Structure 1
């Protein structure tokens, strides 16, 4: 999503960050969200991923009846960029990068070190918008506070807790504190 936006909106180049696990930020304002869900194997036993991308391209929040409390810290691309790509160009760029990702995660003819998350980690870490920030991880039964310490090799959020203990998280709602 970041690459697609940067290709088409040079104003945003090197300004977009990831808020683990699935948001794209600009200046700590949510520009996009990504949800992925794995489907159970089909008749051939293959698992597929369904990817949903929500991008605030030209959203008039006031006209939609949303105020600051409803929005949190959402922002629309048209309010921060001098040019906004049309929908089809954006979908085309997103498709291009999603197909690249699908190829990266295909392990049929590649060793693990040459596929999947291993190839993405340096860029994910460079784009990490949470690193060094005080965060609260809201789980179903508790909230854990600490300082975001990066993303590990499995894609988990690392949080430094009291006593400099690092705890990885695979899920949870993350908010800045």
Structure 2
């Protein structure tokens, strides 16, 4: 019953001990997983921890996030234990210019993991929203703090329709997918991130040599589409999304000009008829 203290038995808590046993081992990228009941922002907490000497591979999971932020400063919230809200800390030893690929790498890894476990076609909207159809399943936010990159993700797992933050969102439960268990989903995402991150750093951050650009294009729901892009300065452009360049920037062909975008809010435009 709604409002009953038993109403969320389908939202069990995560076990930090079990996650550490599964993920932290000699040679692993992951050096420790902490699960907290509630926090303002896992990204902000990890950025603070980085300044205090936290190691690469630190993972912070929040059962509830009170001041979650999406791209372009948007607020984001969800009921406790209804999703996966977590951040990772990376210290990539690759050229700074190549590090714009990190949020896209994370998106490729997360989409691959969810696609495999949940048995659902997950696609990427540039730069790194996870979509089922045209509905948003997850968002990713990467932030730099000195030589550290903190990447956070909010993945909608068991949210019900009335709990969605926006009408254009969805969840694994709403989509009736094969898996809506947060523990194996989190493990799978982190293992996929590690694989892609190892390959990308071994290639010196080269998205082509590591296969990252090809993997991103294969998973993209944006490339080849007519898009409307709202730029941070308020300008709006409409054109065909034609590709992603060597820095992870979106390439758009307008009516009379070609654009390369490092930031912007992309809307997929439907053609009538």
TM-score by length of 1: 0.80
Distance 1:116 1:56 in 2: 31
Distance 2:157 2:237 in 1: 33
Deviation of the 1:82 alpha carbon: 4.1
Deviation of the 1:22 alpha carbon: 1.6
Unaligned 5+ residue runs, structure 1? Answer: 41-46
- Residue number in structure 1 paired with 2:222: 130
Distance 2:180 2:266 in 1: 30
- Residue number in structure 1 paired with 2:151: 51
- Residue number in structure 2 paired with 1:154: 247
In structure 2, the CA distance between the partners of 1:81 and 1:170, relative to structure 1 (3 Å rule), is same
Alpha-carbon deviations, 1:19-40, whole Å to 9, x = none? 0012011111111111111220
Q: CA RMSD in A?
A: 1.9
Distance 1:89 1:6 in 2: 13
Count of equivalent residues: 157
1:61 paired to 2:161: yes
Deviation of the 1:116 alpha carbon: 4.3
Deviation of the 1:8 alpha carbon: 1.1
Distance 2:231 2:177 in 1: 39
Instruction: Specify which of 130, 137, 141 is matched with residue 31 of structure 1.
Output: 137
Deviation of the 1:9 alpha carbon: 1.5
Distance 2:134 2:241 in 1: 15
Distance 1:72 1:166 in 2: 32
Distance 2:201 2:223 in 1: 29
In structure 2, the CA distance between the partners of 1:21 and 1:92, relative to structure 1 (3 Å rule), is same
Report which structure shows greater RCO (CA 8 Å, sep ≥6): 1
Deviation of the 1:85 alpha carbon: 3.6
- Residue number in structure 1 paired with 2:232: 140
Deviation of the 1:160 alpha carbon: 0.6
In structure 2, the CA distance between the partners of 1:26 and 1:32, relative to structure 1 (3 Å rule), is same
Deviation of the 1:52 alpha carbon: 0.7
In structure 2, the CA distance between the partners of 1:92 and 1:2, relative to structure 1 (3 Å rule), is same
TM-score by length of 2: 0.53
Summarize the alignment of residues 3-152 of structure 1 with structure 2, pairs less than 5 Å apart. 3-10=112-119, 12=120, 15-40=121-146, 47-62=147-162, 64=163, 71-107=166-202, 110=203, 112=204, 115-118=205-208, 119-141=211-233, 142-152=235-245
Assess if the C-alpha contact under 8 Å between 2:242 and 2:251 holds in 1.
yes
Assess if the C-alpha contact under 8 Å between 1:104 and 1:116 holds in 2.
no
Distance 2:194 2:240 in 1: 34
In structure 2, the CA distance between the partners of 1:168 and 1:72, relative to structure 1 (3 Å rule), is farther
- Residue number in structure 2 paired with 1:43: none
